[in-house]
Structure 1
Amino acid sequence: MRLKDKVAIVTGAGRGIGCAIATTFSKEGAKVVVADLDLSTAACVAGEIESLGGDALAVRVNVAKKKSVDDLVDAVLEKYGRVDILINNAGWDKIEPFMESTEDTWDKVIAVNLKGTISFCRSVLPIMISQKSGRIVNIASDAGRVGSSGEAVYSAAKGGVIAFTKTLAREMARNKISVNCVAPGPTDTPLFAEIAAGNPKIAEALVKTIPFRRLAQPDDLANAVLFMASEEAAYITGQTLSVNGGLNML
């Protein structure tokens, strides 16, 4: 088991990519903190993990609120006494032309996608520094690398996540902590279904542009994140791995 007895926090783990990461980590022996804004979905995922013999803790968290993040980390320390892996997966987006977007939307996109990642890193890193070990994997997006029409502020936020990851990787290397990004392309998740609901042809059009001719599945991302969180990636830090079926080749 690649993550035996490691304590891993996964945000946005109630569904989609986060759920796949949480269950994959559990199968590899990790004790998984299933964190989500929706406690009912987090509890469902944690219950599924426990039914298969795993160890999981469901916690509600609002990643846009630093106190909520700090409270979660305190709860994890109380139960497990350490944090070995942090997966910043929680995200939110609204597809629309930039000139039709509003400040409220900008604030939410930045708060969830960028500030949430920064807040969790700030809360967890003192623990990892004291341990002289740790793995952080931030879920970015190819939108943050090449841009995406209808996602101007989301692209900016995810670009910020990538830049933040590189700087943090430089600062944390002396403490034997790696910090990397996994950047999904279009992925078949409930969030994608919600975004595409207003335009049923969006998925079909995207598939035609992807060399592998399919959307990513959550497990495609979970396996990449597992690699980055494992000892197999011990000498990798500050990198961004795109998982996109060849949609963008950077």
Structure 2
Amino acid sequence: MTTDFPSFEIPGRVALVTGAARGLGRAIALTLANAGADVALGLRDVHADAGLAEQIEALGRRALPLQMDVTDPGQVRAAVDATAEHFGRLDILVNNAGIAPGNPAEDVTEADFDATLAVNLKGTFFASQAAGRVMIRQGYGRIVNVGSQAGAVALPGESVYCMTKAAIAHLTRCLAVEWGPHGVTVNAVAPTFVHTPGTADHLADPARRADVVERIAALHRIGEPMEVAGAVLFLVSPAASLITGEVMLIDGGWTAR
């Protein structure tokens, strides 16, 4: 039995965060850097990191902005390969990129359906596949998928988004079982509504905001990006070495009701 105390630091690790330019991705990238990791930034537009690389470097870590539209498997593979080549390894992948075009189910267009699946599912799978190949060779890896409470509860007007997040939860379990023997853990976080550019329009409506706050049953407040980033850090840290195939709800009590 080991007597080492749990560690939440990740010095010397190399992480790749998709959708890193803003919101949850930005908070996660900074949190991993603060804990000791060098961070590759997967960006839909490599020129749009809005000073994130400089912030990471100010923390004493290395940053690598990369062109990575997750709907393009070629860009995904190139970004993963560039990360491993530049830093010499790839220890952590955070699949954060996602979209949520809202529409009543009867009004969903094929274009919206295809776009949501392309980012949320296709992007997550092929980024995991590319990173998984590197991690299997290393005999070590940590993958965290950013799901949503929408994978566990129904959100009106978000049927396709909810479907993709439910699928991500099960993909997480499948990859965890398949890659566990190679030293790779795969987990997911499932946040409630968090203050990000992606939720700003929804939460700007007073009635919808009041409904969300009421449904966050225990805490009755909107989440903050760093509250999600902390859970991601835990799952990639040595403290979570026995956890895999789990979906961690970060919902302020929404689903406890």
Quick check: TM above 0.5?
Answer: yes
User: How do 1:74-153 residues align onto structure 2 when only pairs under 5 Å count?
Assistant: 74-153=81-160
Unpaired stretches in structure 2, ≥5 consecutive residues: 1-7
**Residue 163 of structure 2 is aligned with which of 152, 156, 161?**
156
Change (3 A) 1:40 1:195: farther
User: How do 1:1-250 residues align onto structure 2 when only pairs under 5 Å count?
Assistant: 2-42=9-49, 44-196=51-203, 199-210=205-216, 211-249=218-256
Structure 1 residues 157-166 or 204-213, which shifts more?
Answer: 204-213
Where has structure 1 moved over 6 Å in runs of 4 or more? none
Distance 1:73 1:53 in 2: 22
After TM superposition, give the deviation of residue 195 of structure 1 in Å: 4.3
| Letter paired with 1:203 | R
Count residues in correspondence: 249
Distance 1:85 1:96 in 2: 34
After TM superposition, give the deviation of residue 78 of structure 1 in Å: 2.1
**% identical aligned pairs:** 39
Structure 1 residues 77-86 or 234-243, which shifts more?
Answer: 77-86
After TM superposition, give the deviation of residue 38 of structure 1 in Å: 3.1
After TM superposition, give the deviation of residue 60 of structure 1 in Å: 2.0
Distance 1:4 1:43 in 2: 25
| Letter paired with 1:48 | Q
Distance 1:212 1:117 in 2: 30
> 2:19, 2:44 within 8 Å by CA — same for their partners in 1?
yes
Structure 1 residues 187-196 or 25-34, which shifts more?
Answer: 187-196
After TM superposition, give the deviation of residue 196 of structure 1 in Å: 4.4
> 1:13, 1:89 within 8 Å by CA — same for their partners in 2?
yes
Distance 1:43 1:78 in 2: 24
Match of 2:3 in 1: none
Distance 1:193 1:151 in 2: 16
Q: Deviations over 1:177-203 (max 9, x none)?
A: 100010011111011014445x44322
After TM superposition, give the deviation of residue 106 of structure 1 in Å: 0.3
Distance 2:54 2:207 in 1: 36
| Letter paired with 2:59 | L
Distance 2:247 2:170 in 1: 10
TM normalised by structure 1 equals 0.96
User: Could you say what secondary structure the match of 2:233 adopts?
Assistant: helix
Q: Deviations over 1:11-66 (max 9, x none)?
A: 11111111000000001000011112133332521111112322111112110110
Distance 2:206 2:47 in 1: 28
